[in-house]
């Protein structure tokens, strides 16, 4: 979305900007841009084991040498009229990629990365068909449920493909989770160069990890730029969707904010309702008896004045770890009730603005922003996957699942020990005893320890027995009196597609079928529910912090592929084969058991009430991309239309 400008700055300006660069992706970007592969010096290549450290673990000497090379290359590029070299051959591109990731073999990734990086602005995931060209006379419409990140994406692709659609959104604006979560400190924990649509990149993100308002603006502007607003019905909640095998259509029942109910017919329904939007309130006895103010983090109540108040926070997950540091100084006393401590990944730039020099590089060195995206994609995605997989030969341990995972545990333990060095009484409470990545790894830049170490904060690990009219009682019988209780207790993540009622073929009820254990083929299609497509559906969540936008882009392409299939031939409905669906899920379950989050018995929202990991994708990002590039008609029962 932001254009690259020609370089007119002086050598000194360039030198100053490069001094602020994220160095590991810089030499690959310049090799790509200038065609000069001699920039890829072996001695300056990042070590894959250290890629999670600042500057990929490069030493000061390596950084200085890499910067000097980069400055010369940028000056030459400027003097040459800021004209990029011709695109590299596949062999050269592969070489640059393998260098960028510290030497891993990347041949399988080449086509994915060319697409994911959208170098030079092209959009390789756009639909390859237009309805007017392949089925101008076929009446085919789509209902998309939700105008969050995935729903906007689905709308954009349907619009590009000329397929008529409507997006139904219960809120008053777009943005989904970024619209609903407004708690103090709410921000993305995946760097924005990665957490953004591949085809709508910004080079000018103000922060490395954007706050909620910045992300909401991004999604709002995407809705405008993609010209989607006229397709969205706001304040319209979907109550039910019912399939007719006779008409091969869904009937979607909606209710508007003023209570008006209506039905809409469509050939296909795309659910883009997300996983993390129905607050989960803990089942603690007496919860309703509390007489003070109380609210959930996802329904932050700004009318409650926290200044000077005695405030209890229940939960220490991703949301609480973001808002507790924001409120700790203002409240009178803060009582943090922690059941399981989180692992924290040190992230010094977590709250930092992108420096002017770095911003300048992103907007003047073509492809640097994309190579940075690639660097993040790799080091926070498939690059770390081996570190969270169970090594069957690893001496069974509750606290780690392999030697690399144990190395991660030691590094993260060191971080916590340093942060709490002056409060040894807290160390045993804050250091987790479960393997890194068995729960979501959170980011920290020191604010967590500072909040917990305040004189006015108590970290309470005694389990909660009940809630009374005056406060929280722990199992030791102590009543902790408070004015306010804030629930940072997460979401009903495994109740996919609730509270909608979804009725498929032969009157099948989706929630009865799932019976609390949601499954889908590739997270997208469900046997007995033809032409129903889920985005961010079962087993498409990621634990190590890749970008969920990637999954949605893959999923939407697959759905558009299914629609293409239906429009081209005489078939108008597709229903995934049960054997294909079951076999896929068995593989997913087996692999999830081999991952830290499946092997460990620690609590997490990744597991449903039956203990099955219903949330997570256990394989590589590459595999999801490969499997969703296009639907295989053999996976489906296809039904001819009228």
Q: Does 25 bind ligand N01 (CB under 6 A)?
A: no
What whole-number distance in Å separates Cα of residue 482 and Cα of residue 471? 5
Q: Quote the CA–CA distance of 247 and 574 in Å, as a whole number.
A: 13
Per CB under 6 A, the list member of 27, 266, 284, 334 interacting with ligand N01 is 284
Decide whether 10 or 603 has the Cβ nearer to ligand N01: 603
- Of 97-105, 311-319, 475-483, 577-585, which segment contacts ligand N01 by CB under 6 A? 311-319
| Residue where the block lists tokens 């997950």 | 317
Contact indicator for 29, 364 with CB cutoff of 8 Å:
no
In the list 325, 366, 436, 490, the residue contacting ligand N01 (rule: CB under 6 A) is 490
Which of 249, 299, 247 shows the shortest CA–CA distance to 490? 299
How many other C-beta atoms lie within 10 A of the C-beta of residue 445?
A: 16
Query: Residue 246's CB: how many other CB atoms inside 10 A?
Result: 7
Count Cβ atoms within 10 A of the Cβ of residue 609 and give its class: 0-12 exposed, 13-18 middle, 19 or more buried: exposed
For residue 516, the minimal CB distance to ligand N01 (Å) is 17
Least Å from the CB of residue 626 to ligand N01: 25
Would you say 269 or 318 has its CB closer to ligand N01?
A: 318
The reply to whether 148 sits near ligand N01 by the rule CB under 6 A is no
Residues composing the chain:
642
The residue assigned the tokens 């900007």 is 17
Smallest separation, CB 396 to ligand N01 (Å) = 22
Subset of 313-352 contacting ligand N01 (CB under 6 A): 314-320, 322, 337, 339-340
How far is the first Cα of the chain from the last one, in angstroms, to the nearest whole number?
Answer: 42
Give whichever of 52 and 341 is closer to ligand N01, judged by the CB atom. Answer: 341
Residue from 10, 59, 132, 603 in contact with ligand N01 (CB under 6 A): 603
Cβ pair 539, 523 in contact under 8 A: yes
242: its two tokens: 């019912």
Report if residue 232 touches ligand N01, rule: CB under 6 A: no
447 lines the binding site for ligand N01 (CB under 6 A): no
In the bound complex, which residue of the shown chain has the CB atom lying closest to ligand N01?
A: 317
Q: How far is the CB of 462 from ligand N01 (least distance, A)?
A: 11
Helical packing angle, 26-34 and 368-379, nearest 10°? 130
Structural tokens at position 500: 């909608």
Q: What is the rounded distance in angstroms from the CA atom of residue 90 to the CA atom of residue 76? A: 24
Backbone angles phi, psi at 536, to 5 degrees: 50, 45
Joined together, the tokens standing for residue 251 give: 């009937």
Residue 196 touches ligand N01, criterion: CB under 6 A: no
Which range of residues in 225-233, 448-456, 483-491, 578-586 is near ligand N01 by CB under 6 A?
A: 483-491
Size of the site for ligand N01 (CB under 6 A): 24
184 is an interface residue for ligand N01 by CB under 6 A: no
* 98: contact with ligand N01 by CB under 6 A: no
Q: Which is nearer to ligand N01, 440 or 519 (CB)?
A: 440
Footprint of ligand N01 (CB under 6 A): 188-189, 276, 282, 284, 314-320, 322, 337, 339-340, 440, 464, 488-491, 603, 605
């Amino acid at each position: 979305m932001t254009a690259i400008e020609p370089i007119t700055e002086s050598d000194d300006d360039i030198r100053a900007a490069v001094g602020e660069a994220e160095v590991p992706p810089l030499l690959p970007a310049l090799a790509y841009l200038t065609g000069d592969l001699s920039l890829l010096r072996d001695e300056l290549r990042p070590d894959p084991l250290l890629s999670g450290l600042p500057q990929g673990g490069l030493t000061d000497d390596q950084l200085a040498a890499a910067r000097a090379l980069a400055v010369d290359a940028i000056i030459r590029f400027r003097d040459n009229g800021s004209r990029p070299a011709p695109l590299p051959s596949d062999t050269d591109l592969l070489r640059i990629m393998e260098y960028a990731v510290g030497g891993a073999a990347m041949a399988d990734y080449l086509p994915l990365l060319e697409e994911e990086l959208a170098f030079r602005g092209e959009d390789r995931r756009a639909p390859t068909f237009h309805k007017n060209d392949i089925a101008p006379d076929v009446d085919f419409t789509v209902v998309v449920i939700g105008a969050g990140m995935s729903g906007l994406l689905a709308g954009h692709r349907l619009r590009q493909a000329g397929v008529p659609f409507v997006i139904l959104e219960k809120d008053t604006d777009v943005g989904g989770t970024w619209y609903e979560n407004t708690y103090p400190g709410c921000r993305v924990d995946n760097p924005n160069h990665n957490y953004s649509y591949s085809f709508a990149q910004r080079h000018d993100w103000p922060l490395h990890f954007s706050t909620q308002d910045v992300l909401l603006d991004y999604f709002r502007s995407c809705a405008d730029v993609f010209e989607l607003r006229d397709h969205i019905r706001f304040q319209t909640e979907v109550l039910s969707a019912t399939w007719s095998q006779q008409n091969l259509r869904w009937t979607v029942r909606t209710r508007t904010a003023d209570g008006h109910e209506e039905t809409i017919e469509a050939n296909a329904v795309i659910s883009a309702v997300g996983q993390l939007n129905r607050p989960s309130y803990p089942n603690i006895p007496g919860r309703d008896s509390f007489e003070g103010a109380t609210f959930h983090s996802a329904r932050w109540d700004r009318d409650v004045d926290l200044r000077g108040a005695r405030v209890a926070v229940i939960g220490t997950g991703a949301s609480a770890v973001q808002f507790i540091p924001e409120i700790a100084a203002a409240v009178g006393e803060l009582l943090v009730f922690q059941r399981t401590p989180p692992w924290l990944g040190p992230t010094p730039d977590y709250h930092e603005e992108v420096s002017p020099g770095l911003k300048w590089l992103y907007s003047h060195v073509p492809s640097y922003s994309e190579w940075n995206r690639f660097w993040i994609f790799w080091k926070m995605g498939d690059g770390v996957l081996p570190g969270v997989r169970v090594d069957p030969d690893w001496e069974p341990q509750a606290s780690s699942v392999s030697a690399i995972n144990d190395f991660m545990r030691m590094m993260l333990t060191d971080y916590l020990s340093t942060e709490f060095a002056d409060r040894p009484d807290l160390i045993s409470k804050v250091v987790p005893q479960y393997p890194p990545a068995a729960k979501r790894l959170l980011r920290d830049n020191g604010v967590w320890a500072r909040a917990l170490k305040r004189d006015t904060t108590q970290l309470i690990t005694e389990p909660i027995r009940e809630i009374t009219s005056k406060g929280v009682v722990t199992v030791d019988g102590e009543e902790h009196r408070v004015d306010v209780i804030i629930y940072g207790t997460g979401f009903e993540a495994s109740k996919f597609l609730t509270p909608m009622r979804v009725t498929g073929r032969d009157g099948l009820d989706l929630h009865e079928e799932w019976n609390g254990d949601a499954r889908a083929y590739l997270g997208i299609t469900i046997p007995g529910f033809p032409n129903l497509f889920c985005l961010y559906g079962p087993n498409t969540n990621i634990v190590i912090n890749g970008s969920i936008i990637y999954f949605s882009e893959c999923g939407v392409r697959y759905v558009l592929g299914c629609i293409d299939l239906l429009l081209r031939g005489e078939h108008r409905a597709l229903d995934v084969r049960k054997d294909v669906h079951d076999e896929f899920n068995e593989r997913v379950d087996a692999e999830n058991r081999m991952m830290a989050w499946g092997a460990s018995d620690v609590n997490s929202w990744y597991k449903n009430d039956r203990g099955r990991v219903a949330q997570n994708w256990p394989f590589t990002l590459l595999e999801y991309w490969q499997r969703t590039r296009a639907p295989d008609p053999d996976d489906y029962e296809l039904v001819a239309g009228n």
